[in-house]
A and B are shown apart, each in its own frame.
Chain A
Amino acid sequence: MKSFAESFWSKMVILGVVVVLAIPSFPLYAAQKELKFGAIFPLSGRGATWGMAAQKAITVKQKEVNAKGGLKVGADTYKLEIIWEDDKYNAAAGRMAAEKLVNRDRVKFILGSQSSAVILAVQPITEPNKILFLVNSYAKEVLAPDKPYTFRMVLTSNEILQGMYPWMTKTYPNLKAVAFIEPNDASGWSIEKDCRRMAEQNKYQVIFSQFYERGTSDFYPLLNKMIAASPDFVDFSGAPPGDQALMVKQMRELGYKGKTFSSTTMDPAEFCKIAGVQNAEGHISNTHDLLGAYTTEGQKKYYDGYIALYGKPFDPVTPKYQVYLDVLIQALEKAGTLDTTKVMEMMEKTEEWGTIFGASKFGGKEHYGIKRQIVTPVYISEIIKGNLVNRGTMMPALP
């Protein structure tokens, strides 16, 4: 049996080791505060494809900032914490999530959502409470002069099509007639309106336009009618990538030979698996190959961060969502305060932001009535033999 002295000293040694190990970390964590952001995205339901892509991209940026020791705002350094809420692609669930984030978690900054309906339901909470709300979704009314705390962080069909339609006219001058197929909801209607306006501005004849219910998987009846109208190309910008791929497969089976076009991003490997490599040949989209000709240093860094966290394969749908947190962090550092009004003013007056897509800015005073729409370069690519080939890039003009 050990004597009392032996036992006492062995305990003291263990205690000493614990204290020594704890000392280096103690001052660091004692000095670091936590900064909570709310995030409302569709993490289940049919919108989860986008919501989870956003979650991955935002988490890559969050980990990067925390790994560097945190975010410095004024004299304080903060560890970033993100409280994720699932809006289920549903306005009521989104509103409940916002109530919780604002009233219980006391967040001052919210990222999200994908759905215009959710954003419009959340804005009556964020605007009066001066919560900075960084959003996506295509509906025009999301941005308005009476909603100064809302910024849109992703290009909408309005901006993307400004780049893609002139490119189509220049690259494929023989195409004259276009058909639209969009989902039958607020988002689909809004995109169809943008597509129609852009097509007409670029002298295309709109010869077919029809909406379909989300969840549809057999498009033969709709496509049969569309093919009878003989369009030169089909634009289904509002459809989710899986639906687009399925439509491409089915329209080729029915004998359609024209081009297929979308102003959204998609995963080319997944797209080709569903549509078939041969059927997907020449499909035009707003997808950017991060390892292609237009790679910036920021994109390479994001790519590496993504692979380190999630492994291969890389999801090309995710990069656009990285901008959310990237710009917010820059704005907080620049403003040197957590005061949302001051951060909002900083975001409005700063003329150039460094993003993974290169120099970007906020615009839209003329179109939306307020300068709250981010403007990043638009990338245009085609699928060639199952691979994504970058075809061009341009900066949309958004006065």
Chain B
Amino acid sequence: MTFSFFIQVLVNGFMLGLTYVLIASGFSLIYGIMRLLNFAHGEFYMLGAFATYLLCEHLGVHYFTAMALSMVIIGVLGVLVYHFFFRPFRDEHDPSLVIALGIAMLIGGLALIIFGEKDKSVAPVFSGVIQVWGATLSRERVAVIIVAIVLMAALTLYIKFSKTGQAMRAVSQDREAAALQGIGVDTTFRLCMGISSALAGAAGALLAPLFYVNPFLGMHAVLKALVVVVIGGLGSIPGAIAGGLLLGFVESFGNTFFGDITEILGFIIVMIVLLFRPQGLFGHG
């Protein structure tokens, strides 16, 4: 293996990992605060990609404006879904899970009827490639890496230092104690759902020009997100980042050295993590 080939494998893994981080961070945030495995999160990602596609390709909106609008649209949609579907079953784990699955199927089915089965694409904003120590990366991917890092840093700082972020942490640690301190649990849940859905919208918008857009993106995305958050620790944002990057590197190196069985490697890691650290790499016991 040459040095440049090794660097290419490394860069591929990093990029792949970041796409997983983008999708998994919102998924993990919802679980951390609301204790809800939101299987509809993948569909929000898909809708984010479609919103960007419609805004850019049909309404001629500039890509970055479309991305911001997609985040707002999907964020609002997330709040509405919480209000009408999750809120009535807020403290009931099993019904919430079934509701989440039902919403995922409903959104996927509606998207198929409205947008059709064909793959669609968003015109790339950046063209050409750059070379990093002999490894090749398209400018589009570099842009995704930069925006993803900025988003993750902003999310981490927001949760750590902002007043509402601290309220989220308080609710995740002890809902009743937080409520006694005057924190509006319902408002916090709404905000959490809005932020995580907006993150899914951002992921869809960021990845739409890189890949394609179709109504089937959601299910695959949410399965990857589940693997990532189980590795990193359910509810932990640093865990989602670590889990996503780990899975990206494992798949990149797995493809190079093991070929066809790469997909299984992610599940092997999940099993190992569950055996030795059931709460995940960054999860709390």
Contacts and interface: CB of A to CB of B under 8 A. Distances in A.
Contacts of B108: 44
Chain B CB within 10 Å — which of A225, A228, A270 has the most? A225
A242 B263 contact: no
Nearest to A217: B211
10 contacts: A45-B216, A49-B117, A210-B259, A211-B260, A213-B263, A218-B210, A221-B252, A224-B5, A225-B259, A242-B212
B43 interface: no
A302 to B, nearest CB: 19
B118 A267 contact: yes
Given A217-B217, A221-B262, A270-B118, 12 more contacts: A210-B260, A215-B216, A215-B220, A217-B210, A221-B13, A221-B251, A224-B5, A241-B119, A246-B211, A253-B129, A255-B136, A270-B120
What's the interface size class on B, roughly? 35 or more
Contacts of A273: 120-121
Contact of B15 (A44, A45, A220): A220
Contacts of B252: 220-221
Interface residues of A, number: 32
Contact of A224 (B8, B112, B118, B219): B8
B66 interface: no
B255 interface: yes
B16 interface: yes
A267 B210 CA distance: 20
Given A218-B15, A221-B251, A224-B9, A253 B212 contact: no
Interface in A239-291: 241-242, 245-246, 253-255, 267, 270, 273-274, 276
Contacts of A254: 8, 136
Interface of B: 5, 8-9, 12-13, 15-16, 19, 108-109, 112, 116-121, 124, 129, 136, 138, 207, 210-212, 214, 216-217, 219-220, 251-252, 254-256, 259-260, 262-263
A216 to B, nearest CB: 8
B263 A218 contact: no
A46 interface: yes
A274 B136 contact: no
A257 to B, nearest CB: 13
A211 B207 CA distance: 23
Contacts of A222: 255
Interface string A201-220: 00000000011010101101
A52 B112 CA distance: 11
A295 to B, nearest CB: 24
Given A44-B112, A228-B5, A274 B212 contact: yes
A102 interface: no
A367 B104 CA distance: 44
A380 to B, nearest CB: 23
A221 B5 contact: no
Given A45-B216, A241-B119, A274-B212, A221 B12 contact: yes
A220 B109 CA distance: 30
Contacts of B220: 215
B126 to A, nearest CB: 12
B117 A225 contact: no
